Structure 1
């Protein structure tokens, strides 16, 4: 009887242990499964994503297109930052592909994923400015298919999931039929928008419009060789001075902190290389909710509930902060955070006046990459309860 009792207890213990271990393993597997992480699932209910995959033709004739992308990135981000969707937090993720360039691997279909979905606006800018053009074969169906399969698209169709493909060769080229690629996109709730760099009618004849129509996307034709016109305003100099003050609020940390701080400064210079007004556009983006750098900036990191300042080693801090106590460091972060919010608020207030000035002084509506993207995003966003207000 005693033996039976002991065996029963042991069996019960083994059963409980195995069940607990199975549950733990199940939870770990669930947590490690990208889109289905427990934390992500929880936050996703409060967040609406705008996922934009840019597929840019980098063949010889596309220098103008790449220039427009570089020159217009920050105005696109600024306009998207005004998105509203009820009480949801809006998150912007941008992915970047290049195609049609002989310098890319032929076995991959002359396609390269430059950047997977990212919220790091500095990194997006850095990669855009690194793009160069070269002659090649433009396989539209192939690059669409690749982006559909490679990217971490949200599974819930309440999110705004968009592909923008821009180029000037027939949409029918390459080993993957664009119709099949479009059907794959539809199955994931992704809308394809096509931007033909050339004559509107020619884009229709070469199936660019049909490529968009299959997924109920937008077709646009632009003059990609027209230089972007940046309108200077009376508020620009003040905003640029505020940008200098804003940069002073960043406290880098970690192995790559100093490097990422340099990238931030480099992208300020890249924006300014087009015009002072473009540098202003970037400054406005840096004052928006989309510009977050918690991976290397202590101010943004401290806003994350899961962040533990105590886990940051002194060696990972800037030289002038290494000797501060944790209490002193927390106080320093709080002061910088307060200052940053004040500066960002001033930039936003000045930007409202700036936007009004630009609207009143813009002579014609331009047909360019920026307008093609924004028109499509707003139109398709409205179908999913997004609104656009400054």
Structure 2
């Protein structure tokens, strides 16, 4: 099978929220319940992608839709299984449909990606773009954690330098000082070979304590379809059927929207993309994306809640008329099925990974791919926050 080298792995995640603004904000109100365990703070990653969404980036953004989940799985592969939030600042230029659109940090990749399906890049074409505004918004309009132990990182991706002639524009050196005070690392990815962009991108990375990469417009990230993708996509659908939601009317409406987003992904994503998503959702870091808020099976099976903590009217409709013993029987069975499906996904994932690495070996290696460059940067930077990555290569 031919290995396509395309600029995907990082940008898959960067592009994911552009179309969402502002529709992705979802209600998160749940029934007030008693808790039975003490919450332990996990290691965390907060990553924001600052993406040029002008017409010259169209191919990159479209290609990105295939590999959104691989970069998430790579970040999830740390020994400490971090919680992952992702956000986006999409930018164009003054005079375009918008200058910036900000999507705040979220664990719900499904809902973000569902809106991405309708996104198309437009505008630009006249040289410099509003890079200064994009950087400022990324540092100041995103709800970064104040916790100094969180790995906070941004990736600036584009092919044109910033306008330095705009009035009422905060220039990037000032913004990067703010980023440093907040503990945010700024990496830069230059698409193409615009010689006026290169020195600026290098300077931004240097001032942002980050790394600079250059990739061709045609890209150089690894994407391989495998014989295991179809089965993995089917397992993903089965995994989602184990979800049962509780909560008041507002919470259930939010959960309904998440289910609709999930259905849209299954209708529109390729089998390869669905396979990558299944692999991420089966990880500990992918649990928040898989389940969302107010998922009953996890709440009960983890011991975080008990059935009598929840009002009957707030239970899933399918359980409301049942006796508590019958409710528990169904919840226990769903938990068992969920564990089995996750185990099957992990087993198939290993076979898929071996298949891909054999294909890569037959064509040479992927050491110069964007996947590996990004993984190298994350591996080095995250280590300073106590996150250890032992894998020799990125997830594909």
| TM-score relative to the length of structure 2 | 0.76
Q: Does 1:54 align with 2:46?
A: no
Equivalent residue number for residue 382 of structure 2 = 381
Change (3 A) 1:373 1:315: farther
Distance 1:259 1:317 in 2: 18
Distance 1:93 1:256 in 2: 19
Greater shift in the superposed pair: 347-356 or 50-59: 347-356
SS of corresponding position for 1:240: helix
Equivalent residue number for residue 204 of structure 1 = 198
Equivalent residue number for residue 287 of structure 1 = 282
Q: Which structure carries more relative contact order (alpha carbon 8 Å, separation 6+)?
A: 2
The structure with more helix, counted as a fraction of residues: 1
Aligned length: 337
**From 286, 296, 299, the counterpart of 1:298:** 296
CA apart distance, 1:319 = 4.3
Q: Does 1:248 align with 2:241?
A: yes
Q: Does 1:184 align with 2:178?
A: yes
Q: Which runs of 5+ in 1 are unaligned?
A: 1-38
Whose radius of gyration is greater, 1 or 2? 1
SS of corresponding position for 1:220: strand
Deviations 1:192-233 (A, max 9, x none): 01111112755423x011101112201111234449763233
Distance 1:124 1:159 in 2: 22
Q: Which runs of 5+ in 2 are unaligned?
A: 1-34, 247-251, 392-396
Greater shift in the superposed pair: 355-364 or 230-239: 230-239
What's the C-alpha RMSD, in Å, of the aligned pairs? 2.8
Distance 1:383 1:255 in 2: 40
Equivalent residue number for residue 213 of structure 2 = 220
Contact 2:236 2:274 (C-alpha < 8 Å) held by counterparts: no
Deviations 1:232-277 (A, max 9, x none): 33433332332232122122342332331121121233432xxx22
Q: Does 1:171 align with 2:166?
A: no
Change (3 A) 1:60 1:385: same
CA apart distance, 1:64 = 1.8
Deviations 1:26-71 (A, max 9, x none): xxxxxxxxxxxxx9xx857x42211101111111111122123322
Distance 1:194 1:90 in 2: 23
Deviations 1:339-362 (A, max 9, x none): 101111121122122112211212
| TM-score relative to the length of structure 1 | 0.77
Distance 1:74 1:242 in 2: 16
Distance 1:379 1:268 in 2: 35
SS of corresponding position for 1:289: coil
CA apart distance, 1:72 = 1.7
Greater shift in the superposed pair: 326-335 or 297-306: 297-306
**From 128, 134, 141, the counterpart of 2:122:** 134
